[in-house]
Chains A and B, each alone.
Chain A
Amino acid sequence: MMTLANGSLRVDLKLIAEMVEPGARVLDVGCGEGALLDWLGRHRGVDGRGIELSMEGVSAGVGHGLSVIQGDADTDLKDYPSGAFDYVILSQTLQATHEPRKVLENMLRIGRHAIVSFPNFGHWRVRAHLLFRGTMPVTDTLVHQWYDTPNIHFCTIRDFLDLCREMNVRVEKAIALDRDGRVLPLPRAAGIANLFADQALFVLSRDA
């Protein structure tokens, strides 16, 4: 087995990786080529599984000895039994799902914790882009044009927190990151983070 990406992880994946307890059972939804699972397997001894849409991603992951199935968050979460995992991870994928709320519900059903990261559509650059240019925002983190973007359900940090409240989901941890990967304070009401955070990362669980 070879090491993926020389052991270095994307900034949000590194934050996620550090949250996972050693030896945990982890499902990474939208795992790409499996960099996070590979890191968790090596450094945390986790029993990891992945779901990935692209044949190339799955093939690379399985080719590195990871357990990955070809599928997606909308269709392939419902089969897992409740409580099958300690952590279900969805990084930078929520906005590309057809039914984000159902996906979150399934994640919280099959995992004790759900870890979700997504790009913040409430960032001031996004707002300014729409306000001043009057076209759909294209930024460093949102690189697609409106007609070819896989992202069909954008939300802001505040939107996401509203949904968590509506779903009676406990927010165990909330982290906001600016474009350089620096951590910003993220209070319950989102506040300034909703304006300055490039992306956000949440650890959620069902109220016991």
Chain B
Amino acid sequence: MISDLMSAADTPSPTDPALANDRRVELGLDRPIRLDCGVELASVTVAYSTYGQLNADRSNAILICHALTGDHYVADPHPITGKPGWWADLVGPGRLLDTDRYFLICSNVLGGCMGTTGPADIDPATGRPWGLSFPVITIGDMVEVQARLIDHLGIGQLFCVIGGSMGGMQVLEWAHSHPDRVFAAIPIASAARHSAQNIAFNEVGRQAIMADPDWCDGDYQSHGLRPKRGLAVARMAAHITYLSEPALHQKFGRNLQNRDRFTYGFDADFQVESYLRHQGSTFVDRFDANSYLFITRAMDYFDLAAENGGVLANAFRGTRTRFCVVSFSSDWLFPTPESRAVVHALNAVAANVSFVEIRSDKGHDAFLLDEPEFHATLAGFLDGAAAHRGLPPSTGQRRYGR
């Protein structure tokens, strides 16, 4: 199968230096992509970035899976906000995700709004935006589309699949549904199922969007509108869950925003209010409201145990993948017991697993931040896995952080 793929005319040559970032590819043309809901998509456009070079035997590829509101701009400035990529500190020569050693791939998820087919795109059947008629997608569907991209790139087995939060769900799904294509898996601050509390938070976000009159029952594009207020509130609520009480307290306390007394009104008197409003208002410039609905739904539906007879261990039976599970002590969105459940399931099938709970007060967002212990653990795990995979060791000095 791999050799067939390698002979495909449109696959990039392993040493082609012109592997540019922010690429687009149309997938599913040869074989429609069948979604879990039963709908078949005859064509899916996937936006993706790559960094580094694919080696001669195509054994050094790492797939990076992004979180709910992430995208494939891992290390490049975001085209709308201009901010550095969400893992820019981790990607580069000599860095943790070392572009001198690995070929990194990250694609925008199915249902996304940064180039991959999603509800804001045109439904070829009607010539109008999909909107709410976009099929309800799952984490499994996202992974299926990623697998097609990996086929397209001529890669049989990924050296590693890594991701945090919803990205971690994709990592677990990859290890479950394509065990032979994943040599090492790193699910970070994640879970094998979305908890009731997390579904609840997602529902608050969705209801905020739907309560915005500009949402127009999902058909806002036809009306030339965007449900900015609803999406901003959804983002504000979600953003609180990404932090922690100590992190919020340290950052803002009860400090007032550019004033020395209360206004006795509903202005953003407190810094934390001002901060959240800013988070909400900047988010709507780069994210589509319907994408938010569909992607949060995909997270809600995720439950690897339920898909495997109610026993999570069944999802990983016979696995030869090396796992490194990471959680953060102050993460209350994907708390450590969720990671521990994954570890226990992997132990039950005697899988090769490492697990560490990193002490941090930064909450769920810690996986995106400069946490030296986290990065050192990942670096060691990757080095060990690379040695087992027969990849050459790192040359030169490792560089962390900024």
Residue numbers of A with Cβ under 8 A of B are: 1, 49, 55, 58-59, 61-71, 76, 79-81, 84
B→A interface (CB under 8 Å)? 322, 324-325, 340, 343-345, 347-350, 352-359, 373, 376-377, 379-381, 383-385, 387
Question: Chain B: interface secondary structure?
Answer: helix
For the complex, give the distance between the alpha carbons of A58 and B340 in Å: 14
CB distance from B379 to the nearest CB of A (A): 7
Does A81 lie within 8 Å of B349, measured CB to CB?
Answer: yes
Chain A residues with CB under 8 A of B344: 76, 79
* A-B residue pairs, 3 tightest by C-beta: A65-B384, A63-B380, A69-B355
Tell which of A49, A67, A70 touches B357, judged by Cβ atoms closer than 8 Å: A70
**Interface SS majority for chain A:** mixed
Q: Do the beta carbons of A67 and B377 come within 8 Å of each other?
A: no
Are B343 and A81 touching (Cβ within 8 A)? no
Interface contact B353-A59, CB-CB below 8 Å? no
> With contacts A1-B387, A62-B324, A79-B344 known, is A67 near B352, CB below 8 A?
yes
Contacts of B324 in A (CB 8 A): 62
Bound CA span A46–B290, Å: 52
Q: Which of B349, B355, B383, B387 contacts A58 (CB 8 A)?
A: B355
A58-B355, A65-B384, A81-B348 are known; give 12 further A-B pairs, CB within 8 A.
A58-B354, A58-B356, A62-B354, A62-B380, A64-B380, A66-B384, A67-B353, A68-B355, A69-B347, A70-B357, A71-B355, A81-B350
Cross-chain contact A62 with B383 (CB below 8 angstroms): no
Instruction: Chain B residues near A61: list those with CB within 8 A.
Output: 354
Complex interface: chain A residues within 8 A of B357 (CB): 55, 70
- Residue among B352, B359, B387 making CB contact with A49, cutoff 8 Å: B352
- Chain B nearest CB, measured from A73 CB (Å): 13
Q: Cα distance A59–B357 when bound, in Å?
A: 9
Asked whether, in the complex, the Cβ of B387 is within 8 Å of the Cβ of A55, the reply is no
- Pick 20 A–B contacts, CB within 8 A, sort by A: A1-B383, A1-B384, A1-B387, A55-B356, A55-B373, A59-B377, A59-B380, A62-B377, A63-B377, A64-B380, A64-B384, A65-B387, A67-B322, A69-B354, A70-B356, A79-B345, A79-B347, A79-B348, A81-B349, A84-B350
Q: Would A80 and B380 count as touching, CB distance under 8 A?
A: no
User: Considering the chains assembled together, what is the distance between the CA atoms of A133 and B189 in angstroms?
Assistant: 52
How many inter-chain residue pairs (CB < 8 Å) link A and B?
77
Chain A hits for B356, CB < 8 A: 55, 58-59, 62, 68-70
Q: Known interface pairs A58-B355, A62-B356, A63-B376. Does A69 touch B348 (Cβ–Cβ under 8 Å)?
A: no
Q: Which residues of A contact B379 (CB under 8 A)?
A: 63
A203 to B356, CA, bound (A): 29
B51 to chain A minimum Cβ distance, whole angstroms, is: 24
User: Which residue of B has the minimal Cβ distance to A25?
Assistant: B350
A1 to B383, CA, bound (A): 7
Decide if A65 touches B380 in the complex (CB within 8 Å).
yes
Q: Which chain B residues lie closer than 8 Å to A79 at the CB level?
A: 344-345, 347-348
Instruction: For the complex formed, measure the closest distance between the CB of A24 and the CB atoms of chain B, giving whole angstroms.
Output: 14
Nearest B residue to A84 by beta-carbon distance?
B350
Cα of A120 to Cα of B353 in the assembled complex, Å: 33
Is A67 in contact with B348, judged by CB distance below 8 angstroms?
Answer: no
Contacts A1-B384, A55-B373, A59-B377; is A67 near B354 (CB within 8 Å)? yes
Please give the distance in Å from B171's CB to the nearest CB on chain A.
17
Q: Which residues of B contact A1 (CB under 8 A)?
A: 380, 383-384, 387
The answer to whether A76 touches B347, judged by C-beta atoms less than 8 angstroms apart, is yes
B361 CB, nearest partner CB in chain A, Å: 14
Which chain A residue shows the least CB distance to B356? Answer: A58
Chain A residue at smallest Cβ distance from B349:
A81
A55-B359, A59-B376 given as contacts; is B383 within 8 A of A65 (CB)?
yes
In the complex, the answer to whether A71 meets B343 with C-beta atoms within 8 Å is yes
